[in-house]
Amino acid sequence: MSYRNIFVVGMDAYNRQRLEHLRGAENYRFHGVIEPAEVYDTEIFPIEDMLARAETQLKEFSEPIDAIVGYMDFPVSTMLPILCERLGTRSTSLESLLKCEHKYWSRLVQKDVIADYIPRFTAFDPFDPQALQHIGEAGLYMPFFVKPIKSSGSRLGFRIESPEDFAYAVARLRESIGTISEPFNYVLEHANLPDAVRSVDGGHCMAEEIIGGWQCTVEGYVFQEEVASYGIVDSIRYPQVLSFFCYRYPSRLPTAIQTKMQALTRQVMSHIGYDNAAFNIEYFWDEVQDRIWLLEINTRIAQSHCDLFEKVDGISHQQVTVDLALGQLPDMPYRQGAFKVAAEFFYRVFFTDATVSQVPSCEEIEALQQAFPGTLITLKVEVGMRLSSLPEQDSYSYALAYVWMGADDDSALKENYERLAEQLHFAFEDITG
C-alpha cells in the first residue's frame, strides 16, 4: 500500500497525535519540517533562513510530497504559499493570503464589497512624530484602536483614549514592531502588490474605529472556489478588559446573526480570490445597534479550536487543513463528539509583571484532568520565569494556563471550570501593577 506524505510545518508531538486520529490518517505519513521551537513561543522569525532550510529538506525527500500544511499564525501561515509554490503542492496564492493578513490591504478589499460591516480605518507610521495628527486628518478621533499591519494574537494592540495612551502605545510599537515587520517585509517582497499597499509595509500600523459586542469566529474553507463555513466559536472576554476568558463552541449567537455572518464570509472570501485553503474570520455582533462588524481574517484554522471541534463534532478541524492540501473536499463530522459544548479557558493574572515562585505540579495537573473527564491543562509558565518574558501575550494580562473542557451544557461547563480554577495554585514574588 502506498502512503501519502504530508509535511507539517512546526509539528510537535501533541499535534502529531491529533493528526494521526484524522479520518483517512491510516493512509497518511506525517513528517515535520522546521522545528516546533522555531515557530512556537518565540518572537524571533528568520523567515528567509527557515524557508531555505525547509526547501532543502523537502527537496532531499526521496518520495513524492503530497501536501505541505500548517496550523499556526505568523510566520507559518505566510511561509506556506511560498513553500508550496516552490515544491508544487496545493495552496492559495500568496497575494490572496496577503489580502487577509496585511491588515491595511485586507480592509481595502473588504471595503470593496462589505463597506457597511467594517470600521473606519487608516494606516500610520509609528515613527512619524505627526502620526496622531495624520490619524485625525483621516477622520478618526479618540477613542480608537491601534495595532501593527501584521501582528500575532492580541500582541501590540492598544485602545487609545488620550494622547498619553497614544504616546505609550507608540513607544511600545517602536520598541517591538521590528520583530514582525522585518520578516513580514521579506514575505511582501515575493508578492505582486498594488502601489497603495506596497507603500504601507510591515513597519506601519493601523488605527481603527472602536468596534465591539459579542465576539465570535467563523471557521471555514474554500474548495474549488466554493466558500463553506462549518462552525462558529464564541470568544468571551473578562469583564471590562480586552483579555479573553474563554472560547466556547458551539456559538450561542441568534441563528439569524450566524446566517448573516456566513453570508458575509462567502461574499468577502470570494472577492479576495482565496482558494483551496482553510481560514477563519472574527466578527462582532453589536447587540444594541444590531450591527455586525468584521474584525479580521486569519488564513488558517484556529489551533485553539482543535480540541473544541474534537469534543463536540468528533474530530479536530485539522481535518479541513489536511483534506484541502490533498485536493479533497473536507470530511468533517457534525455533533459526533462526546460533549454537547466545549471551551478553552484562559487562566490569567492581571499584573504589570511578576516572577513565578510556584506552579501546579505534574501530579496535581494529572489529578485535575482525571477529576474532570476530557479535560486538558497546559501550563505556560514555570518557577523562576518573569511574566514579561512570555511571548504572544495581550497588553493587559498574562495567561498562565490553558484549560480545555467539555460538558453537557453551558452552566455545567462554567461550574466545572470554576471548581478546577480554584485548585490551580500559582504563587508570585516581585509583583508590580
Q: Which three cell numbers stand for residue 205?
A: 500600523
Q: 4-91 has which fold?
A: Rossmann fold (3.40.50)
Instruction: Give Rg (Cα) of the chain.
Output: 21
**For residue 217, what pLDDT is reported?**
98
The string of DSSP letters for 149-207 reads SS-STTTT-EEE-SHHHHHHHHHHHHHHTHHHHHHHHHHHTTS---HHHHTS-TT-EEE
**For residue 416, what pLDDT is reported?**
97
Beta strands in 308-371 (DSSP E): 341-349, 353-358
**For residue 113, what pLDDT is reported?**
98
Residue 79 contacts residue 255 (beta carbons within 8 Å): no
The separation between the first and the last C-alpha atoms of the chain, rounded to the nearest angstrom, is: 61
Q: Please report where in the chains the cell 518520495 appears, as a residue.
A: 63
**For residue 154, what pLDDT is reported?**
62
**For residue 78, what pLDDT is reported?**
92
**For residue 133, what pLDDT is reported?**
96
**Residue 64 burial (C-beta neighbours within 10 Å; 0-12, 13-18, 19+):** exposed
pTM score of the predicted model: 0.92
**For residue 430, what pLDDT is reported?**
87
**Residue 6 burial (C-beta neighbours within 10 Å; 0-12, 13-18, 19+):** buried
pLDDT, tens digit only, all 433 positions of the chain: 589 999 999 999 989 999 999 999 999 999 999 988 888 766 778 899 999 999 999 999 999 999 999 988 888 999 999 999 999 999 999 999 999 999 999 999 999 999 999 999 999 999 999 999 999 999 999 999 999 999 766 678 899 999 999 999 999 999 989 888 999 999 999 999 999 999 999 999 999 999 999 999 999 999 999 999 999 999 999 887 778 999 999 999 999 999 999 999 999 999 999 999 999 999 999 999 999 999 999 999 999 999 999 999 999 999 999 999 999 999 999 999 999 999 999 999 988 899 999 999 999 999 999 999 999 999 999 999 999 888 777 777 899 999 999 999 999 999 999 999 999 999 999 888 6
Each domain of the chain, given as residue ranges in start order, spans 4-91, 120-209, 341-432
Domain 120-209 = CATH 3.30.1490: yes
The CATH number that domain 341-432 falls under is 3.90.1170
